[in-house]
Structure 1
Amino acid sequence: MSSDRVTIRQIAEMSEVSVSTVSNVLNGRTLRMSAETLERVRGVISTLRYRPSSIARGLVTGRTATIGLVVAEIETALFFSAVGALETAARDAGYNLIVCHARGSRDEAEVVTVLRTKGVDGIIFIANSEAVDNTHLSDLPAAGILAVVINRRRPGPEFGRVSWDDRAGVSGAVEHLHDLGHRRIAFLRGPRSRDSTRERAAGYRRGLKKAGLPYQEDYVRHADYTADPLTWERAAGELLDLDPAPTAVIASDDSVAAVVIRTAQRRGLSVPRDLAVVGIDDQMFAALLNPPLTTIRLPVKEAAERALKMLVDTIAGQSMRAVRLDTELVVRDSSSPEPPHHRQSAGCLPSGKVAGPSSPGRKET
């Protein structure tokens, strides 16, 4: 049966439900519907390959079944990877997606104006945690446009928010390195203007405190992954020139971690025998480095999917929420126990003590 001849009444008859029930399924009004009924109706819709007319539905509901996606750094592989996941989730939920790129508040204000003229039902913002002016978003709720922000401060209680726990992620990485026997753990900070950098720095301090290790300013350097890679190499070199030098480095992202590995190897050091390295992001190339990179995986794709679900649920009548997702430490070959000669010089690890496995919940690949 072709989709242009299928009617809601036919779906209702095959599902053994009322026409209004089918209409509720098609328009996302399913909060009070049993799981069995919802599954049966969706199964018939799928079997008949029914596709509702967006124009007709818009006339009835006042909505366009269209969602705008505004990405702050679409050229960043980590953020771009979320676009495909979100587009698939939107399509499965019966929505079209308009993808826009906006760098900074001025660009974003212009993009939001365009999306409003398109009559979008909602907007999802994927941000880089920079502190930005939200004035241009203040009247979205009054205009009936729902919005969810990802990795960004919540503009107001009417907005949904999805974030991830940067602080716990870096704290867990410090714990991992400490468990392996490392006592001199350095940290390369990211861009100073981003909330994520402050959260990760706080996580570094918390991890050291939990491990009973002192915070040493010399072991912290600025390595802004938005800047010239030469600055990352200089920062890595400064750490390796210290006496005593760190035996482990947590880098501000995977690209910086790759430069740390290269810098160490050019100095004749072995990673991980002489220096353990941990990155942040888990970008596609991380597993292809030599050695494969241990890194803190940020749940960007999951965040995009959760934001879409939050938006669709709100259209169906639920309230906006704030959700924080866990990060995950992916353990690969770039981190290993501190070499014996380093342990002896540090005088911190009792003789004969063997570092145990990583804590539960961490993934090893």
Structure 2
Amino acid sequence: MTISDIARLAGVSKATVSRVLNHKPDVDPVTRERILRIMEEHNFVPSVAASGLAAGKGHLIGVLVPALTWPLIPDIMRGIAEVVEETSYELVLYSIKTSNHERDRSDVINRILANRLIAGLLAIFPGQSARYLPALQRQGLPVVLLDDQGLPPEQLPWITADNRAGAYAATRHLIELGHRRIAHIQGPLKYQVSRERFQGYCDALQDYGLPLDPSLILQGDFMPPGGRACACQFFAMPERSRPTAIFAASDLTAYGVMGAAEEFGLRIPEDVSLVGFDDISSSGHMRPPLTTVRQPLTEMGRCALELLLSLLETPDRPGAALLRASPLLARFAGSPQSQSQTAMTATIESAEPVRLRLATTLVVRATTAPPPCYARL
């Protein structure tokens, strides 16, 4: 059924049906009731996309995700949903294929350009697909990146977590417990977040006067199998040479370390301490509960959508003014120096385009303890 069908059955114009759909007051109550009854009898559902196009303004916001099964996605989507439910917008989800083919990665971008259904796009972990997103912006579609794993295009707004500071806090925690042989399982180095977390690890070792030992650094894949494989290499070392603590670049990597420790008969944290990164929902329920670095995922989702809404409402407003336009983002509108003095929860890398880096938090649970007695000698 279309609006034309409803108008014909009700004996009115399409404009009258449209006014009823948009809750306009200038429709006779009897006519309104007749139109609503016909809609109900025929299970008529108006097309949000079509009505937006007809009005010259879309009411749909696109959210581009790698896969809804990724463990970080639910918390991010919770923040997005909290903001969008207070607006008149609806969400449309687009998923990036995991294939390595350039054509497959660009297909979803071409589909967005061809359909013209959405008013703006929030891209979560776009990875290699990020290179195609400036084309959307050049076509007049506002785009915001959330926690891109590669280097984000310079012309796009971007919100992420402070990966380097979080990794520094994780490594410092282990050092202050007395550990000196601290291993690091990296994420894939093609990702900016992996390099930033490695740099935070290196910064802490340097500040505390500890050498960077290449034998204690292995590259994983952010997933449990990669963490398990790397940990097995560490645990196969002679007792006096192997690490007494491991900083894993993700919680899923840390889960793999736990499996390897069990395989080698090692106890966590008595024989080896372990810190992850992300604080996904299952980490607090592991046995033992995982010490990790918490990314403010829900707040990142909220801030990203607030920023996109600000771009939709005032597309020509300068970056700093965009931040002040939203109550949620306004607290991030000061200078980086003033924020560090007042313990704000984010820093601004640049105002044009907006770049926000939200603070992380070390969550100490039960997988960290002082090193074994032999390592303290």
Counterpart of 1:145 in structure 2 is 141
| Cα separation, 1, equivalents of 2:23 and 2:312 | 28
| Cα separation, 1, equivalents of 2:157 and 2:291 | 32
| Cα deviation code 1:301-356 (max 9, x no counterpart) | 22221110001111221345111111211110001122333212xxxxxxxxxxxx
Q: CA contact under 8 A between 1:131 and 1:194: conserved in structure 2?
A: no
242, 248, 251: which one aligns with 2:248: 251
Q: CA contact under 8 A between 1:131 and 1:193: conserved in structure 2?
A: no
Task: Please tell me whether residue 63 in structure 1 is matched to residue 61 in structure 2.
Answer: no
> Which 5+ residue runs of structure 2 have no aligned equivalent?
1-19, 27-47, 320-353
Report the Cα offset of residue 121 of structure 1: 1.0
Per the normalisation by structure 2, the TM-score is: 0.71
Residues 332 and 180 of structure 1, relative CA distance in 2, 3 Å threshold:
same
Per the normalisation by structure 1, the TM-score is: 0.73
Residues 5 and 66 of structure 1, relative CA distance in 2, 3 Å threshold:
closer
Secondary structure of the residue aligned to 2:138 is: coil
| Cα separation, 2, equivalents of 1:268 and 1:172 | 28
Counterpart of 2:228 in structure 1 is 233
| Cα separation, 2, equivalents of 1:91 and 1:80 | 16
| Cα separation, 2, equivalents of 1:234 and 1:210 | 30
Give, as a single letter, the amino acid of the residue that structure 1 aligns with 2:59. A
Report the Cα offset of residue 57 of structure 1: 7.0
Q: CA contact under 8 A between 1:68 and 1:97: conserved in structure 2?
A: yes
| Cα separation, 2, equivalents of 1:138 and 1:190 | 26
Give, as a single letter, the amino acid of the residue that structure 1 aligns with 2:123. F
Q: CA contact under 8 A between 2:67 and 2:95: conserved in structure 1?
A: yes
Task: Please tell me whether residue 207 in structure 1 is matched to residue 204 in structure 2.
Answer: yes
Residues 96 and 5 of structure 1, relative CA distance in 2, 3 Å threshold:
closer
Counterpart of 1:260 in structure 2 is 257
> Which 5+ residue runs of structure 1 have no aligned equivalent?
9-52, 345-365
Report the Cα offset of residue 154 of structure 1: 3.1
Task: Please tell me whether residue 329 in structure 1 is matched to residue 350 in structure 2.
Answer: no
Task: Please tell me whether residue 91 in structure 1 is matched to residue 85 in structure 2.
Answer: yes
| Cα separation, 1, equivalents of 2:230 and 2:135 | 44
Q: CA contact under 8 A between 1:131 and 1:195: conserved in structure 2?
A: no
Report the Cα offset of residue 54 of structure 1: 8.3
| Cα separation, 1, equivalents of 2:49 and 2:96 | 27
Q: CA contact under 8 A between 2:227 and 2:255: conserved in structure 1?
A: no
| Cα separation, 2, equivalents of 1:326 and 1:246 | 28
Counterpart of 2:183 in structure 1 is 186
Give, as a single letter, the amino acid of the residue that structure 1 aligns with 2:152. R
Residues 73 and 192 of structure 1, relative CA distance in 2, 3 Å threshold:
farther
| Cα separation, 2, equivalents of 1:110 and 1:79 | 22
Higher mean displacement: 204-213 or 107-116: 107-116
Counterpart of 1:43 in structure 2 is none
Residues 67 and 57 of structure 1, relative CA distance in 2, 3 Å threshold:
closer
Q: CA contact under 8 A between 1:296 and 1:327: conserved in structure 2?
A: yes
| Cα separation, 2, equivalents of 1:132 and 1:173 | 30
How many residues are matched?
293
Identity of aligned residues (%): 28
Report the Cα offset of residue 132 of structure 1: 4.7
Report the Cα offset of residue 186 of structure 1: 0.5
Map 1:36-75 → 2, pairs under 5 A: 62-75=56-69
Q: CA contact under 8 A between 1:182 and 1:338: conserved in structure 2?
A: yes
Secondary structure of the residue aligned to 2:85 is: helix
| Cα separation, 2, equivalents of 1:86 and 1:309 | 9
Give, as a single letter, the amino acid of the residue that structure 1 aligns with 2:76. A
Report the Cα offset of residue 138 of structure 1: 3.1
Report the Cα offset of residue 108 of structure 1: 4.2
Task: Please tell me whether residue 163 in structure 1 is matched to residue 150 in structure 2.
Answer: no
Task: Please tell me whether residue 119 in structure 1 is matched to residue 117 in structure 2.
Answer: yes
| Cα separation, 1, equivalents of 2:371 and 2:170 | 15
| Cα deviation code 1:89-134 (max 9, x no counterpart) | 2221221110110136534432233333143110010016x44561
Report the aligned-residue RMSD.
2.6
Counterpart of 1:298 in structure 2 is 295
Give, as a single letter, the amino acid of the residue that structure 1 aligns with 2:121. I
Q: CA contact under 8 A between 1:66 and 1:98: conserved in structure 2?
A: yes
